[in-house]
Amino acid sequence: MYLASMPKSEGGIDRLYADYDWGTSPLGAPGTWPASLRCVFETILDAKSQVVIFAGPEFVALYNDAYAPTIGNKHPQAFGRPARENWTELWAALEPMLQKVRREVQTVSARDLAFHIERHGYPETVHFDISYSPIRDGEEVAAVLCIVTETTERVRAQDTLAQSEARLRALFAQSAAGIALIDAQGRFNMVNARLCAMLGYSESDMLAMNYRDILHPDDRNGDALISGCLPQLSSGRTIEQQCIRKDGSSLWVAISGGSVPYVQGKDDRISLVMTDIGERRRAEADERRLAAIIASSTEAILSTDLQMRITSWNGGAERLYGYTASEAIGQLVTMLVPDDRTAEEAAIIAQIQNGHQVEPHETIRRCRDGRLVEVSLTVGPIYDEFGHVVGASKIARDIAERRRAERLQTVLVHEMKHRVKNILATVLAIARQTLGAQEGQAAETFRARLMALARAQDLVTDEQRDGAELCDIVTEVLSPYADSRFSIDGPAVLLPPKTALAFALGLHELATNAAKYGALSAAEGVIEILWRYDEEVGLDFTWRERGGPDVVRPDATGFGSVLIGEVLPAEFMGEVTIEYASDGLVCHLTAPPWQDFAPM
């Protein structure tokens, strides 16, 4: 029944109460309720707090309009019915608390208490601040007054905030960049492990330091730095500064960050995110040096993409080809290729795309004025930061002058060879007429030495005045003798021209002596010729005879002994030893390494 004196509620609970068939409720008609229960219910009816009363031993639910939304679709059927019927899913958690209030006649409270409830057609976890108090009827507890505040949104917000803080702390601790929080005076309030590792300090060391302490002496205008950098950092700009590590070494860093609001009444903090840019600055410096070298090089240096378009062009290229950088960049490099060599550039790019270096080769290129120029061309791949080939670099050297010099040298060498042979022939003719028939052996010896000198001269000049290869000299000098009599082994070693002539004459003397008195004078005699070269030790050459007649040290010293014992050591800047061993003569030549004497 509806009581006129009962407060009216905005949500209609008063009407539900008035129209309710209390005969169907275990609580019975309101007139039978304990006075205290009726009084409390009338009091909460228009209250703004969320309040529910669980009355009687069956905990019949009576609640106000403010509480109704917290139970969703359980309203209105939950009103006037035992709580067990409508709070089935959470009854195991709710009943013990209600029983405790009735049994111990004391208040039970909790904050953010979790309940698992179905109030909108699906299970969910909700949170409440609760305060459960007894409503007395004399010595008995007539009901339990439950004042609740749903805190689900607050708890979720707190959980989200906690997770966000955990993620931020993880990022702070694990970041690849150094991160710090400093106050307005520059004192470190927080630092992460990466910043400590970058600067070489422990966390406790840094928290006792000021930002000025890590700056390079040239940048220690701390107040100006903090006040000057903050607006730049706050606007999203990045600044670069040089810091000093604990060990005294320098460290370049890029700094970003900004102002961080702090507790009210205190100055804001400044966040600093520092990235080590030492490698980048070194790379930039190397790049600048390389660019300066390329720009100032006298050689033509250019680069193209894989579509053969020119992407860079130095001063050497301008001088060689006649195009300025602005004219060349963006054009196809085939503008430099003569019509009869158009396939050459495509073949070069195909090789570059496979990551191969194109070895230096001589070719012809066309200049702006149509003139053709001979060049030595070297081409290599250009890689991006991921190791992919993105273009080609080309270095061209003008070899026109070199070609003219080579042609002139060839003419001069042939003329010199012709004149030297004429001179040697004249000397040989004079010797024959001077010595006469009675000195036939001496004349023959002299002739053989002149011929050995002529052959050595041919070797030197055939090498275009760069010298002669040691093995070629040995082969040429020993050519009159059977190959089976010799064992020859050694690496390719280039001898300077003057040294090669002396070596050829000395080798001729050894061979002539072996043919007359040594291993080559006996049918079973053999000669072993070995040499080695080391960049640190130098040349080690050995002539070893075996199987010839017994060796006897000569009583007199002839031309051959002087040539081998004095001329060769002087020319090689080394030492020569001759051992007259019983089983065969041994000649040993050692020479230190020098710039004009090296393996080929």
pLDDT at 3: 47
Packing angle between helix 470-477 and helix 440-462, nearest 10 degrees?
150
Q: What is the pTM of this model?
A: 0.45
Residue by residue, DSSP assigns 247-261 as TS-EEEEEEEEEEE-
Highest CATH level, class, for 297-398? alpha beta
Which CATH number, 3.50.50.60, 3.40.50.300, 3.40.50.150, 3.30.565.10, labels domain 466-599? 3.30.565.10
Alpha carbon distance 231, 509 (integer Å): 90
Per-residue pLDDT in tens (0 to 9) along the chain, 600 residues: 444 455 565 668 989 998 999 999 999 999 999 999 999 999 998 889 999 999 999 999 999 999 999 999 999 999 999 999 999 999 999 999 999 999 999 999 999 999 999 999 899 999 999 999 999 998 899 999 999 999 999 999 999 988 988 887 888 788 888 988 888 788 899 999 999 999 999 999 999 998 888 888 876 554 445 555 555 555 567 888 889 999 999 999 988 877 777 655 565 778 888 899 888 888 888 888 887 887 778 888 999 999 999 999 999 999 999 999 999 999 999 999 998 988 888 888 888 888 888 888 889 999 999 999 999 999 989 998 888 999 999 998 888 777 777 776 665 556 555 555 656 666 656 666 566 655 556 556 666 656 665 665 566 555 455 678 889 889 888 888 888 899 999 999 988 877 888 888 888 889 888 988 899 989 899 999 999 998 888 999 999 999 999 888 887 777 778 888 888 888 888 999 999 888 899 999 999 986 555 554
Q: Please report, for the chain, how many H helices and E strands are present, in that order.
A: 18, 23
CA-closest candidate to residue 525, choices 562, 481, 480, 494? 481
| Amino acid code (one letter) for 85 | E
Polymer length in residues for the chain: 600
Alpha carbon distance 131, 39 (integer Å): 19
pLDDT at 358: 85
Contacts of 467 (CB under 8 A, 6+ apart): 460, 494, 495, 496, 497, 499, 500, 596
pLDDT at 4: 44
Return the domain boundaries, the chain.
13-156, 175-281, 297-398, 399-451, 466-599
pLDDT at 2: 42
Taking the CA atoms of residue 529, residue 530, residue 536 and residue 537 in that order, the dihedral angle to the nearest 10 degrees is -60
- β-strand partners of 129: 149
pLDDT at 455: 62
Do 13-156 and 297-398 agree at the fold level?
yes
pLDDT at 433: 58
Answer whether 156's CB lies under 8 Å from 175's CB: no
13-156 has CATH 3.30.450.20 classification: yes
Which CATH number, 3.40.50.300, 3.30.450.20, 3.30.360.10, 3.40.50.620, labels domain 175-281? 3.30.450.20
What sign results for the dihedral spanned by CA atoms 122, 125, 130, 134?
positive
How many Å is the Cα radius of gyration of the chain? Answer: 53
